[in-house]
Structure 1
Amino acid sequence: MVRQKNRYLLCEIIYIDGRRLHRNLQQRDIYHCVRNALAKEHGEYGVALALRSLSIQAYFHPNIVMIRVSRDAHKMLQSALFFIRKIGQYEAFFNTLHISGTIRTCQKFYVGYLRRELPKLLRECKTPEEEKEVKKAISSCVPVEVT
């Protein structure tokens, strides 16, 4: 039996309206958006090549999405992500942060990314409720001491 080789793309969803988080954005909205972009840019061949291994895992703390796709189709997926300007009902686009061959190295990068980015979010909080939510996100994701 031959092992299927995958690529993992760690992407950030950036909303054009400037908000950090939209609670009603669902994982299936992201999946359909990616699938439609593949169909539009690469046709049936691109969709058929990517869909046999396409999987999306969403981390909604700072709008991070991990997309798994076969190694053969990852460049098609990456080029299709460039043309996405609407996810669900929101005007947004993808910013690719990291591409990896294993989920473990992708997760290691994600932890380092959270260590750098979540304290920045803490400084941007305007209300005590937002600050409490960001502290909870920091403690659940990264073993960093927050005061």
Structure 2
Amino acid sequence: MVRFKNRWLLLELLSGNEHGIPELSGKQVFDALRQSVITHFGDVGWGSVGASMSVKYFSPTTNLCIIRVARDPYRVAWGATTLLTSIEGHPVIPNVVHVSGTIKHAQLAAIEHNRLIVARFRAKAKTPAAYQDSYEQYLEKSTAEIDALQD
């Protein structure tokens, strides 16, 4: 029996303007990625990644997303993410942070990147390092959600 081999893309969506990104859902991100694949790679591109591509995790707080796609056509999905310009009419700048062959490494990279983003939020707010805020609860919750992901 041959197992299905995947690639895992850790994607961060940055705001394309000063207004920020409105709260999105994983379905909206998936629909935008699907449209990007169809626009830039046509029906053949969508046929190669369509059956295997899925958004396994999306955080509206940090706009961090984990995408699963088959190993062979993962470059089509990667290309479509980098060519993504807007979601629901709001400009975005996609940043592929990490590409992994296993979900475990994608989880570890996502947890580390979430901590980095929260540190950026705290630095922007100029809070001391030992300050207890709602981000502490968010980090605990998001770490549990990411750890619970299954292949």
Q: After TM superposition, is the score higher than 0.5?
A: yes
Structure 2 match to 1:133: 134
Secondary structure, counterpart of 1:107 in structure 2: helix
Q: State the Cα distance separating 1:61 from its structure 2 match.
A: 2.8
1:6-31 Cα offsets, whole Å, 9 max, x none, are: 100000001112455522x1222111
Contact 2:12–2:96 (Cα < 8 Å) also in 1: yes
Q: State the Cα distance separating 1:133 from its structure 2 match.
A: 3.4
Q: State the Cα distance separating 1:142 from its structure 2 match.
A: 5.3
1:1-147 to structure 2, matched below 5 A, reads: 1-18=1-18, 22-23=22-23, 25-56=24-55, 57-125=57-125, 132-141=133-142
1:70-102 Cα offsets, whole Å, 9 max, x none, are: 011110111122221111131112100000001
Distance in 2 (alpha carbons) for counterparts of 1:124 and 1:46: 40
Which blocks of at least 5 consecutive residues in structure 2 are unaligned? 127-131, 145-151
After TM superposition, the score normalised by the length of structure 1 is 0.83
Distance in 1 (alpha carbons) for counterparts of 2:86 and 2:22: 13
1:106-131 Cα offsets, whole Å, 9 max, x none, are: 001112222333122122238xxxx8
Contact 2:25–2:60 (Cα < 8 Å) also in 1: no
Q: Are the structure 2 counterparts of residues 73 and 117 from structure 1 closer, same or farther at C-alpha, using a change threshold of 3 Å?
A: same
Q: Which amino acid aligns with 1:135?
A: E
Distance in 1 (alpha carbons) for counterparts of 2:117 and 2:138: 11
Q: Are the structure 2 counterparts of residues 141 and 58 from structure 1 closer, same or farther at C-alpha, using a change threshold of 3 Å?
A: closer
Q: Which amino acid aligns with 1:140?
A: K
After TM superposition, the score normalised by the length of structure 2 is 0.81
Which blocks of at least 5 consecutive residues in structure 1 are unaligned? none
Distance in 1 (alpha carbons) for counterparts of 2:21 and 2:87: 13
How many residue pairs are counted as aligned between the two chains? 139
RMSD, aligned CA: 2.3
Contact 2:82–2:96 (Cα < 8 Å) also in 1: no
